[in-house]
Every structure is written in C-alpha cells, then in structure tokens.
Amino acid sequence: MVGRDDELDRLRELVSGPQSRVAVVAGEPGVGKSRLVQELLAGLPPVTTVLVGQADPGALGRPFELLLDAVAEREGAAAERLGQLTDPSHSLVERLHIGLEIVRSLTDQGRAVLVFEDLHWADSESIALFERIADLPGGSRVLIGTYRPEELTRRNPVAELLGRLERRHSISHLRLERFTLADTSAFLTAATGSTPSYRAAVALHKRTGGNPFFLEELLKAGGDDLDLDKLWQSPLPWSLAEALRQQVDDLDPALRRIVEAAAVLGRKVPFDLLAAVTRVPEDDLIAVLRELVERGLLIELGEDEFGFRHALTREAIADQMLGRQRRRLHELALENLLASGSTDMALVAHHAKGAGRYDDLVAAARRGCESYLAIGSAYQALVLAEDGLCEVPEDLELLAGAARGAWLAGLTDDATRYAQRWRAAARTPDERAAALQMLIRLAWEDRRRTEMDALTDEIRQVIDELPHGPHRARAMATVAQAYMLRMRTADAVAWADKTAAIAEELGLSEVRLAAKVEKGSALAMVRRAAGAHARRGGEGGVRGAGGRRVLPGPGAPGHAGGRLGGGDHRARGGAPARPRHAAHQPGRGLPRLLPVRPAAGGR
C-alpha cells in the first residue's frame, strides 16, 4: 500500500489498546478506504476475530444486511438466531437485541475487529446496530465504519448516527485525501516496477486527481507491457467513467453482454438470475464468467454468486449503457422476480422503476412500504413510498405510509409535509380523520400547540360527519388524547368516556384500552400537579390556566373545564413519557390511536 502511514498507525493503535474503540473512515469513491482497512486486517495477529459486512449499493436491503453479510460464513452464529434477525414477528427492538447478542457471542473472547463497509448504503437497522455495538460494554472490540461523505444526504440515517457518535464517544474520525504527487509517483513505481519520469508522474497525477482507483484503471488501459512514458503521451481518458468504458469497449460482444447485464442486476448477481436475464446456456455462461473473473472485472462472491471487483466499475458500466438496453434488462429481471414470487419488494420496485413499468412499481411500493412499516423499518418504508409517489402523487396509501415512515424515522418535517398532502388528497371523512390523527401527533411533537388545537377542532368537525363505527371511535380517541396532552383534563376525561363506551359497544378492545389510558393519564397528571403544589406549601389545590382552582385527587375530573395550563407536560415532567423508540415495535407503538395500517386509503 502506498502512503497512508499515519492513518494506518492510528488504526493500529486502536487495535493494540485493551479497550473497545470506534473509528470511521471517510473519503471519496476509490480513494482507498477499503484498502486501508484491508491493510489493517492483514496485519492483525491470527487470533483476532474479524467480522466484515458490506452494504449493498443502491438497494434498500434486508434489515441488518451488514451483520448478515459479516456473519454469513461463520460457524457459531446459529442459523436460527440469524433467521430471527429478519423475522417480522419480532419487534425491531427485539431484533436489535438479537443482533447484539450475535455480535457479542462472536466477539467477547479476546480482540475483535468489526468492519461495516459503506455505511452510506446501509439499511437503517444496520446503522442502529452499529451504534449499539459502539455502546456495548466490556469486550475488546474495535468497530470501524467506512463511508463516502458525498453520498450522505440530510435524511440518510448515517448522517445522524455520525453526529450522535461524535457527541457520545471518543471516536476516531479518519478522512482519506487523494494521493499527493509523491504518492502518485510511489504508486506508479509499485505498479510498474520502475520509477516514472517526473513528467509522466505529473501527467497521470493531474489526469486522475490522485485518485488511486482512477490511477489503477488508467494503468489497465496501458495493457500488459505497460510503458508509462508512452502511456501519458497517448490520448488519455478524461474521467474514470471514460477509462472504464474503454475497458468494456475492448471486450468481445458476448462478454460485454454479460458484464452489462451483471451491472444492471446489482452488487450481488445470482448465477441463475444472470442466466435467465441473458438467456445464455449454463455451460457457456460459466465459461464467460470464468474469463471475466480472470480479467479482474468480476469476482466470485459466494457459491453461485458474482459481483464486480469494485462498485465503481459497476456504476460506470451501468451508466454508459443505452437507456433502452438498461430498460430491457430491468424488465427481464422484473419478470423473473415476479414469476418466482419474490417478496423482496424493494428489489421488485427497483427493477420496475428501471423498466419503466410504473404499475408494477406502485404495486411494489405499496406492498413494500406496508411490510417495511410492519417490521419497523421506517426509513426503507419512506423511501419506497416516495418511489411510488413519484408516479401517483395523490395515492392515499403511499402518502400515509410516507408520513408514518418519516415520522418513525424521526424526520418530522418530512412527515408533516406528507401528512398535509395526505389530508389534502383525502376525499371521505374517514380518510380525513386518519390524516388528521397523524397531523395532530406531529403538531404535538413539534410543539406547535396552536396548530394542534386547531387540528383538534377540525377532527371534531369530521367526527360529526363520520358514521357510527370504528373510524369514528378512533378519531374520538385521538381527541381524548389531544386534550390529555394539552392538559384539558375535563375534556380529555369526557371524550375518553364517550370513546370507551362506543369502543365497548363495537368490540374495539384496542380503542377502549387507549381511551382508558388517556383518561388515566389525564387524571394522573392532575394528581401529580396537585401533589407538587402541596409539597411547595400550597393550599391543597392547583390553579388552572384561568386562575381557577382545581382540586387534586380523585375528585379532579368533577371539576369540568379545569385546565392545568396549556404547557408541555414533558417540559414539566408531568405525563408519562412516550419515547419514540417504543413506536418502532411492529404493531405496537405507533401512536396508540393511530392504526398500524392506514385506516384511510387502505384498499
């Protein structure tokens, strides 16, 4: 490896110390993040436990993909435990726990190094797990994550993770820069076996900007008997994409066809899918793949699974194909997935989008969003819903899914935008009520109190239009909750009682329970506030917002209209806390009164 001495030393220091440590390595594509980590791993004592997981580019991924990838071939990681990681009957919290247990069981003996590669592509569960591993007490683990900073968007879960880690841990943040001219020269010396002329080094350094991957690809263009002085004087590609394109252009058409199909199919290309899409007989395909592996373009990732030696090659090849050609390949992949009854809706949506088959895209987005929400994969649900909404911007089911996904992923602004669109697109009172329930919740969390009150008034009007039935009961429960949160005790109690009665009549046990809890919470707040007042030497009562005295204790609800101020109970330490993470449990945890499946739009 050329250069990177300081960075390698820092990582080696972390590994040689007795404590658990965290490091993140950032840098542009091809700059050498993976290479640095490989160099570290290659120098570790053989007793060290090493786990390396790689995120999939472009795919939403299975939950916990990075851990699954890291432990895929390890004995000891019980298959049953791994299966539970993706089993939707366990809540996300439970699955995180299982993931941690797996990590712990594999890494609690002696030194262990865990690497999560390309966090910017990781599914949100893997990112949550990364954070939890960083917090694991005991052991002697070094946790390393790599990422491309330019791939981080405001919403990418890893952006938040990095912020949190920086605050909570003494993490080592390594930023890899491009090669200097001296590094480039050393790289060329290592690659060719002789020192390049100054002019050749400068020319190649300028052309590649010192990006090692680009340098490597440029050298490949020079062929087997590479002469640097001849190479730099001949016309050189201007970009990495151009350098890669040249290599593909040189391929025999049969090889080229396979390479291009593989590039469209993704990072991991199953042999069978490639055979189906290219319609090449098995034996011929084996021969072609062998040649592509020998040329260093593809690598064998596992049994019957192939991939590109480098993600950048795949990206460049897919980008340079004709749109029509890409579409056709996506179409074939889509047909194959649909025919085999694939349940990977993110993948189905990806190929449907590439194929321009928008009905299939919307159907997969709806199904995928719902199933991701059901297993607590909020961010993935949001991304899929957004894919579908590009085609059907007013689809209630997708708007509801996007609002819930964004809300559960902690993206309140996005959630509010989608919930507002959901309300605007709603046609019937039950659809409007469902959107308003979400908006009320969001207004509460954002501390937009005046808006919350206005929304509560609005849902009360909608309730008058709703027929007697479950939608009405749920909307009423929302009103009870809103009043409870706003400390309008008497109103909360009255609405909770009305809701409980209807829920009882309709046999809606969940709504009945919710109403009871709202009532209990409202009364508990009064008692707590009164207790605090008494401790401060009060006269056995507390004052409402209007200065009216509200009696504490069981009699409190009798004081109709008594408001304990309009403040935020969280700020005052009043009502029971409702942490957002509780909401990540499938089927539970969504705000108690919000149905898990969209009440509106679910058709």
Ligand X SMILES: Nc1ncnc2c1ncn2[C@@H]1O[C@H](COP(=O)(O)OP(=O)(O)OP(=O)(O)O)[C@@H](O)[C@H]1O
- The full length of the chain comes to 603
- Per partner kind, with CB cut-offs from 5 to 8 A, the member of ligand X, Mg ion, none near residue 360 is none
Residue position matching structure tokens 């957004």? 386
The answer to whether residues 248 and 315 touch, using CB atoms and an 8 Å cutoff, is: no
Binding of ligand X by 312 (CB under 6 A)? yes
Binding of ligand X by 196 (CB under 6 A)? no
d(CA 228, CA 239): 18
Closer by beta carbon to Mg ion, 208 or else 377: 208
What is the x/- site pattern for ligand X, positions 62-101, by CB under 6 A?
Answer: ----------------------------------------
List helix spans (H) across 147-197: 157-168, 181-192
- Per partner kind, with CB cut-offs from 5 to 8 A, the member of Mg ion, ligand X, none near residue 31 is ligand X
Residue 90 CA: distances (Å) to CA of 3, 369, 382, 385: 47, 18, 21, 23
Closer by beta carbon to ligand X, 315 or else 491: 315
Closer by beta carbon to ligand X, 117 or else 360: 117
d(CA 63, CA 431): 31
DSSP 460-523: HHHHHHSPSSHHHHHHHHHHHHHHHHTTBHHHHHHHHHHHHHHHHHHT-HHHHHHHHHHHHHHH
- Per partner kind, with CB cut-offs from 5 to 8 A, the member of Mg ion, ligand X, none near residue 502 is none
Min separation Cβ 295 and ligand X, Å: 15
Binding of ligand X by 212 (CB under 6 A)? yes
Task: Compute the half-sphere exposure of residue 233: CA atoms within 13 Å on the CB side of its CA.
Answer: 7
Kindly tell me the burial class for residue 198, based on how many C-beta atoms sit within 10 Å of its own C-beta (0-12, 13-18, 19 or more).
Answer: exposed
Candidate ranges 32-40, 98-106, 263-271, 472-480; the one touching ligand X (CB under 6 A): 32-40
Min separation Cβ 249 and ligand X, Å: 21
Min separation Cβ 56 and ligand X, Å: 12
The answer to whether residues 205 and 181 touch, using CB atoms and an 8 Å cutoff, is: yes
- Per partner kind, with CB cut-offs from 5 to 8 A, the member of ligand X, Mg ion, none near residue 311 is ligand X
Closer by beta carbon to ligand X, 27 or else 601: 27
Residue from 7, 23, 26, 32 in contact with ligand X (CB under 6 A):
32
Candidate ranges 69-77, 309-317, 350-358, 577-585; the one touching ligand X (CB under 6 A): 309-317
The answer to whether residues 173 and 119 touch, using CB atoms and an 8 Å cutoff, is: no
Min separation Cβ 27 and ligand X, Å: 5
Residue 300 CA: distances (Å) to CA of 33, 119, 267, 414: 21, 22, 11, 41
What is the x/- site pattern for ligand X, positions 136-165, by CB under 6 A?
Answer: ------------x-----------------
The answer to whether residues 274 and 258 touch, using CB atoms and an 8 Å cutoff, is: yes
Min separation Cβ 265 and Mg ion, Å: 20
Min separation Cβ 179 and ligand X, Å: 7
Contact residues: Mg ion, CB under 5 A: 33-34
Q: Which of 577, 535, 541 is CA-nearest to residue 562?
A: 541
Region of residue 296 (left: phi > 0; alpha: psi -120 to 50; beta: else): left
Binding of ligand X by 595 (CB under 6 A)? no
Contacts of 34 (CB under 8 A, 6+ apart): 117, 146
Binding of ligand X by 589 (CB under 6 A)? no
Closer by beta carbon to Mg ion, 26 or else 128: 26
Binding of ligand X by 216 (CB under 6 A)? yes
Binding of ligand X by 2 (CB under 6 A)? yes
d(CA 164, CA 584): 19
Residue from 10, 35, 155, 578 in contact with ligand X (CB under 6 A):
35
Min separation Cβ 31 and ligand X, Å: 4
Residue position matching structure tokens 């056709």? 328
Min separation Cβ 582 and ligand X, Å: 36
Residue list 168-187, contact with ligand X (CB under 6 A): 187
Candidate ranges 164-172, 212-220, 409-417, 588-596; the one touching ligand X (CB under 6 A): 212-220
Binding of ligand X by 307 (CB under 6 A)? no
Candidate ranges 27-35, 61-69, 448-456, 539-547; the one touching ligand X (CB under 6 A): 27-35
d(CA 249, CA 429): 60
Q: In what order do the strands lie in the sheet with 49-54?
A: 49-54, 111-117, 140-147, 21-26, 172-175
Which amino acid does the sequence have at 430? D
- Per partner kind, with CB cut-offs from 5 to 8 A, the member of ligand X, Mg ion, none near residue 98 is none
Binding of ligand X by 267 (CB under 6 A)? no
Q: Which helix (H) or strand (E) holds 340?
A: none
Closer by beta carbon to ligand X, 34 or else 377: 34
Residue list 110-129, contact with ligand X (CB under 6 A): 118
Binding of ligand X by 27 (CB under 6 A)? yes
The answer to whether residues 540 and 554 touch, using CB atoms and an 8 Å cutoff, is: no
The answer to whether residues 133 and 114 touch, using CB atoms and an 8 Å cutoff, is: yes
Closer by beta carbon to Mg ion, 54 or else 371: 54
Beta strands in 37-110 (DSSP E): 49-54
Closer by beta carbon to ligand X, 22 or else 312: 312
Residue from 29, 58, 222, 587 in contact with ligand X (CB under 6 A):
29
Closer by beta carbon to ligand X, 1 or else 100: 1
Binding of ligand X by 33 (CB under 6 A)? yes
Closer by beta carbon to ligand X, 7 or else 370: 7
Residue 331 CA: distances (Å) to CA of 316, 324, 327, 345, 383: 20, 10, 6, 15, 21
Residue 194 CA: distances (Å) to CA of 179, 185, 190, 201, 216: 19, 10, 7, 12, 16
Contacts to ligand X by CB under 6 A? 1-4, 27, 29-35, 118, 148, 187, 212-213, 216, 310-312
